[in-house]
């Protein structure tokens, strides 16, 4: 059994964070898992309802950009490890409110790094700061090639630029102070609990309501999709077995153009909803492209596969079907989060496209 430790997970009430928290709480009963989240629009404690009475789980509401709060938390708690996921995560929002991304993703990460360094400075033995990042820091690929761990950083959106900045800060703490760190850069995730501003849950929500499916540009942009639980498995592995100071790329070997993906999703939804084949695809609507829209992301995951023995467990059709099943079985979850501010966001984001 893994030895006892206290792990701080930031952003645990969000999409990926909730799957990471669940995996740690269920798999490591002798770990104490502390979930720190400020509960932005993307944070939802409903995602973790099943863990509320777990004896090895605690939720702390707080803001990683609040230096005094972070320092106070680290003065009161003794964390052995930190898995840092809290972030502003949506590219479209970063185009409208870039400074919020700098504040949370850059300043928030710097606050955590500083607090960890101070708490652990007597001895870094047995400690680890794990920073969860994105493949978007590498920029945009042409039709060929894959992102490896040595691909130069070339972020192009305020979101990816803020994540790249945070990655650089994490590496700087490793080189300058010897803070034990590890970073992973993952491709696009999909699965249960993803906020319906991202492509897949947005389309699932619109298909069930027979609303237009907004496809940016010609729908030719390519993303490499990974089921969220496969990402959580990889995070668990990297946390426990990753080499300190290293970076691991995580990806699904699963490239899809947006238009092909949405057509596939429409076909699955037609079957699930008992609609005639081809019905949902009629909702596809091409709209104005995203500013600076990265053409293609694709990950070379050879390092994590060879060094840590990780591989994605699900084929895309299976993962997509599981995802659709989850959203259809949890329509109250969807209705609750799309009933308030979401309407305003949607109107602002899509009305002029
Ligand atoms: P998400 O937007 O669903 O969740 C982010 C969480 O962080 C929310 O619970 C939110 O309340 C919390 N948060 C935001 N600002 C905070 C603050 N100031 N203090 C405390 N908590 C705060 O994001 P996600 O999709 O789950 O992504 C999690 C991480 O994984 C991010 O760092 C993201 O960059 C990275 N990532 C995401 C993807 C993806 O496809 N979603 C892919 C690769 C990497
Ligand atoms: P998204 O889920 O926002 O992830 P990211 O921008 O981080 O890759 O978008 C995935 C792809 O889908 C991306 O190429 C943009 C596109 N997209 C649309 O065509 N329409 C939409 O309404 C959204 C949200 C995204």
Of 63, 136, 167, 229, the catalytic one is: 136
Q: Is the CB of 79 under 6 A from ligand 2?
A: no
User: What is the token pair recorded at 134?
Assistant: 């994105």
Q: What domains are there in the chain, each with its CATH number? A: 6-192+224-254+294-315 (3.40.50.720)
Measured from the Cβ of residue 332, the count of other Cβ atoms closer than 10 Å reads: 9
**Tokens 């104005």 correspond to what residue?**
288
The dihedral sign for the CA sequence 312, 318, 322, 324: positive
* Closest alpha carbon to 98 in 44, 184, 16, 163: 163
Closest residue by Cα to atom 3, ligand 2, is 198
Give the pLDDT confidence score for residue 132 in this predicted structure. 99
What Cα–Cα distance (Å) separates residue 19 from each residue in 185, 193, 232, 277? 17, 9, 6, 33
User: From first to last of its 353 residues, what are the pLDDT tens digits of the chain?
Assistant: 678 999 999 999 999 999 999 999 999 999 999 999 999 999 999 999 999 999 999 999 999 999 999 999 999 999 999 999 999 999 999 999 999 999 999 999 999 999 999 999 999 999 999 999 999 999 999 999 999 999 999 999 999 999 999 999 999 999 999 999 999 999 999 999 999 999 999 999 999 999 999 999 999 999 999 999 999 999 999 999 999 999 999 998 999 999 999 999 999 999 999 999 999 999 999 999 999 999 999 999 999 999 999 999 999 999 999 999 999 999 999 999 998 889 889 999 998 77
What Cα–Cα distance (Å) separates residue 256 from each residue in 92, 140, 223, 225, 251? 20, 15, 6, 8, 13
- Return the ligand 1 atom nearest residue 89 CA: 2
Distance between CA atoms of 246 and 238, rounded to whole angstroms? Answer: 10
Give catalytic status of residue 77 as yes or no. Answer: no
Give the pLDDT confidence score for residue 176 in this predicted structure. 98
- Return the ligand 2 atom nearest residue 221 CA: 14
CA of 222 to the centre of ligand 2 (A): 10
Q: Which long-range contacts (CB under 8 A, 24 or more apart) does 61-66 make?
A: 61/37, 62/36, 62/37, 62/38, 63/38, 63/108, 64/10, 64/36, 64/38, 64/104, 64/108, 64/109, 64/111, 64/112, 65/103, 65/104, 65/107, 65/108, 65/111, 66/111
Q: Is the CB of 299 under 6 A from ligand 1?
A: no
Q: Is the CB of 163 under 6 A from ligand 1?
A: yes
Closest residue by Cα to atom 13, ligand 1, is 86
Of 88, 135, 197, 229, the catalytic one is: 135
Give the pLDDT confidence score for residue 198 in this predicted structure. 98
The dihedral sign for the CA sequence 192, 104, 121, 74: negative
- Return the ligand 1 atom nearest residue 195 CA: 3
Give catalytic status of residue 135 as yes or no. Answer: yes
- Return the ligand 1 atom nearest residue 43 CA: 9
Give catalytic status of residue 159 as yes or no. Answer: yes
Give the pLDDT confidence score for residue 153 in this predicted structure. 98
Distance between CA atoms of 176 and 65, rounded to whole angstroms? Answer: 22
Q: Which neighbouring-strand residues pair with 132? A: 184
């Amino acid at each position: 059994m893994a030895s006892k430790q206290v792990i701080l997970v930031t952003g645990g009430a969000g999409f990926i964070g909730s799957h990471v928290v669940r995996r740690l709480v269920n798999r490591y009963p002798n770990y104490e898992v502390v979930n720190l989240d400020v509960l932005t629009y993307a944070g939802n404690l409903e995602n973790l309802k099943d863990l509320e009475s777990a004896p090895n789980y605690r939720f702390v509401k707080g803001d990683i950009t609040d230096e005094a709060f972070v320092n106070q938390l680290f003065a009161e708690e003794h964390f052995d490890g930190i898995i840092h996921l809290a972030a502003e995560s949506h590219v479209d929002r970063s185009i409208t409110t870039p400074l919020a991304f700098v504040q949370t993703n850059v300043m928030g990460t710097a606050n955590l790094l500083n607090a960890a360094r101070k708490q652990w400075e007597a001895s870094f033995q047995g400690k680890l700061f794990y920073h969860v990042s994105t493949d978007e820091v590498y920029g945009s690929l042409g039709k060929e090639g894959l992102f490896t761990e040595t691909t130069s950083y070339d972020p192009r959106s305020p979101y990816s630029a803020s994540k790249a900045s945070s990655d650089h800060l994490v590496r700087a703490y490793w080189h300058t102070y010897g803070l034990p760190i590890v970073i992973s850069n993952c491709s696009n995730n999909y699965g249960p609990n993803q906020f319906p501003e991202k492509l897949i849950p947005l389309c699932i929500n619109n298909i069930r309501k027979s609303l237009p499916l907004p496809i940016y540009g010609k729908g030719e942009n390519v993303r490499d999709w990974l089921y969220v639980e496969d990402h959580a498995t990889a995070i668990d592995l990297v946390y426990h077995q990753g080499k300190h100071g290293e970076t691991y790329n995580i990806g699904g070997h699963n490239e899809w153009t947006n238009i092909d993906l949405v057509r596939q999703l429409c076909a699955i939804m037609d079957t699930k909803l008992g609609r005639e084949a081809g019905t949902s695809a009629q909702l596809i609507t091409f709209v104005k492209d995203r500013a600076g829209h990265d053409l293609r992301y694709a990950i070379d995951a050879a390092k994590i596969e060879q060094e840590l023995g990780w591989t994605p467990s699900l084929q895309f059709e299976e993962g997509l079907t599981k995802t659709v099943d989850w959203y259809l079985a949890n329509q109250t979850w969807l209705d609750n989060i799309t009933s308030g501010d979401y309407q305003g966001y949607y109107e602002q984001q899509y009305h002029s496209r």
